[in-house]
């Protein structure tokens, strides 16, 4: 346990700074509002950070004894997982999250299948786009899109967000372990 605490508290190096930034990044969403708006922004930030710490603990406890080559392979897998999550999160966020017209700071996750009665309104004057439909239905996405499509969209965004930050933390954790593998071992002092 002492080694893990030392592992997390080493903020004097660039690696420590990277770890600190990775852990703080989900909280930046509270200001920037680019994280998933569901379930709540504060809840998502806290859960993201807890999952990052769990990922770091996992890397530290289970990957520390691994040889350097296996760590490098896992780091490469984490890198591609991070890229996948970032790309699909950005695309999904653009496609599925819109601001409520009545309150621009209120972002909602839309669905992808319209309710039957809403399909009739599509293309009629006054309802040219998703924002107008959402405004007509009091910014309640479940009244515009099917419940299950809204739920799937919300969960998809949340999973991508959590995957993005957890894989980033695990990537940095693996990087730290690889640096420990490469650092020279200090000689052991012998008694005269």
Distance CA 192, CA 116 (A): 87
Judge whether 41 and 152 are in contact, CB under 8 Å.
no
The reported pLDDT for the residue numbered 45 is 82
The reported pLDDT for the residue numbered 47 is 85
Helix (H) or strand (E) holding 181: helix 147-182
Mean pLDDT of 97-106: 76
Give the chain's mean pLDDT.
Answer: 80
Q: Which residues contact 78 (CB under 8 A, 6 or more apart)?
A: 167, 170, 171, 174
The reported pLDDT for the residue numbered 128 is 67
Distance CA 4, CA 2 (A): 5
Residue 113, Cβ density class (10 Å: 0-12 exposed, 13-18 middle, ≥19 buried)? middle
Q: Check residues 28 and 78 and name the one with the higher pLDDT.
A: 78
pLDDT in tens, 48-96: 888 888 888 888 888 888 888 898 999 999 999 999 999 999 999 999 9
């Amino acid at each position: 346990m002492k080694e893990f605490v030392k592992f997390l508290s080493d903020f004097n190096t660039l690696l420590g700074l990277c770890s600190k930034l990775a852990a703080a990044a989900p909280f930046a969403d509270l200001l920037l509002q680019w994280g998933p708006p569901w379930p709540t922004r504060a809840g998502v930030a806290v859960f993201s950070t807890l999952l990052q710490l769990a990922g770091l603990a996992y890397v530290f406890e289970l990957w520390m004894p691994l040889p350097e080559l296996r760590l490098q392979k896992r780091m490469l897998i984490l890198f591609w997982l991070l890229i996948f999550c970032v790309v699909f999160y950005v695309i999904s966020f653009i496609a599925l999250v819109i601001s409520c017209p009545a309150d621009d700071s209120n972002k909602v996750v839309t669905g992808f299948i319209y309710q039957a009665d809403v399909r009739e309104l599509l293309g009629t004057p006054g309802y040219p786009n998703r924002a107008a439909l959402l405004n007509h239905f009091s910014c309640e996405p479940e009244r515009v899109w099917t419940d299950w499509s809204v739920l799937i969209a919300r969960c998809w965004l949340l999973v991508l967000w959590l995957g993005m930050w957890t894989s980033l933390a695990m990537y940095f954790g693996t990087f730290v372990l690889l640096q420990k593998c490469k650092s020279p071992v200090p000689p052991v002092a012998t008694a005269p």
